[in-house]
Amino acid sequence: VQLQASGGGSVQAGGALRLSCVASGRFSTGYVMGWFRQAPGKERQFVAAMNWSGGRTDYADSVQGRFTISRDNAKNTGYLQLNSLKPEDTGVYYCAAYRRSAVIDVWRHNVGGYDYWGRGTLVTVSS
């Protein structure tokens, strides 16, 4: 599985951005695509995830109601719409993926739970 993220940029607080993640290789409906972010000097944190089969979603509390994860199956592309951005949303955003387990089906919020990672895209929000 290969992942390619794009769409980062610089915006003012209150602005919006849309990130994209193109998946290739064996990525399919048996996978979950997630987004993480890493602020300078901080650990990488879970942001959102989507079950590629059925489209169920999961969000971190800090972005619930402001960010929306979606997908275009035909393009094998995931999106993360970032609205009402705050300076604390600044960081490098990574898309990641793992193959869902047939036995234990719970959302993974830890970095180690994801097997595939794309290169990050930088989001900078100024006050």
pLDDT for 106-123, tens place per residue? 899 999 999 999 999 999
Confidence of residue 101 (pLDDT cuts 50, 70, 90): confident
Q: Quick one: pLDDT at residue 102?
A: 76
Task: Tell me which of 16 and 104 has the higher pLDDT.
Answer: 16
Strands 9-12 and 121-126: parallel
Alpha carbons 42 and 40: distance in angstroms, whole number: 6
| Token pair listed for 60 | 């971190």
Alpha carbons 2 and 26: distance in angstroms, whole number: 8
38-49 confidence digits (pLDDT tens): 999 999 999 999
Kindly state the DSSP code that residue 89 receives in the 8-state scheme: G
| Token pair listed for 28 | 């399919």
Alpha carbons 6 and 4: distance in angstroms, whole number: 7
